Every structure is written in structure tokens, then in C-alpha cells.
Amino acid sequence: MKTNEKKRESSRVEVFSPAEQRAARAARIRVAEAEPYGWMAYSESEDANLYRLYRDPASKHLACTCGDFVFRGNAEPGYECKHVAATLKFIARQYLASEYDPHKQRTNTTSNNAAENTANFRSVRKVA
């Protein structure tokens, strides 16, 4: 009886959401910086298809020129097509490679906490 239960558990198929499926396909998309601003994402099927991505000033999110984003992105706030997901990964990799400094982050966090603690201590002292 235990072997039947194990077989059922192992034969269970994971169902991924559409967002998870798009994110998985994003790994196959090539992204490059565009001039004068924004990014270019190449189609996963043909390099001839090129989509432009830019940061929308109103929503402060990435916008894409692909049909998926144009038709679904306006209807669903926070929607990310596979090109947006690929571009976000591209931006994060660039940031980690060139600008991220864990020592700087730790110093900023420590100094911010020290300033908050000092401010909290002063406000408590005034009340007492």
C-alpha cells in the first residue's frame, strides 16, 4: 500500500501559473541596452523580432512593445511579460556586477539604525 501512495505522489504534476511560465521562458531571451535610453529584448523564436522596453514615468514600471504586454499589461496592473522579466534580470545582473557593494550596504544600514536609535532615545528622554 505504501508503494501505491509513493507512486501517486511522484506522478503528481506541478501546475505553474502563467506568470511562472513567462518567467521561465524569460531565461531564453537576450536583452541589450538601447540608445538613447531603455532596453531591447530579442524574441525567443527569432532575433529579427525586437521589442523596446522603457520605464513608464507615470507608473514607474517597465513597459514593453510586445503584443502580450500591450493587450494584457494595460488591463492587469503589475503585469510582466517575458521580456519585462528578462530585462529585470538583466538590470539586476548589471547592478550586482558593477555597483553593488555589500560593505557599503552594511555601513548604510548600520548608520541608519544608529541614527534611528539616537532619535528614538531623544524622544523617549523628552517624554520622561
pLDDT of 76-87, one tens digit each? 777 888 999 999
pLDDT of 37 above 80: yes
- 124 belongs to a structural domain: no
Q: Tell me, what's the pLDDT at 58?
A: 86
- 9 belongs to a structural domain: no
The C-alpha cell at 34 is 538601447
Contact indicator for 6, 13 with CB cutoff of 8 Å = no
- 95 belongs to a structural domain: yes
pLDDT grade, residue 52 (50/70/90)?
Answer: very high
pLDDT of 72 above 80: yes
- 49 belongs to a structural domain: yes
Total domain count for the chain? Answer: 1
- 5 belongs to a structural domain: no
Q: Tell me, what's the pLDDT at 114?
A: 54
- 125 belongs to a structural domain: no
- 6 belongs to a structural domain: no
pLDDT grade, residue 11 (50/70/90)?
Answer: low
Domain that holds residue 56: 16-100
The C-alpha cell at 116 is 534611528
List the one residue out of 45, 40, 29 whose CA is nearest residue 82.
29
pLDDT of 44 above 50: yes
Helix (H) or strand (E) holding 91: helix 82-98
Q: Tell me, what's the pLDDT at 51?
A: 93
Contact indicator for 81, 22 with CB cutoff of 8 Å = yes
- 11 belongs to a structural domain: no
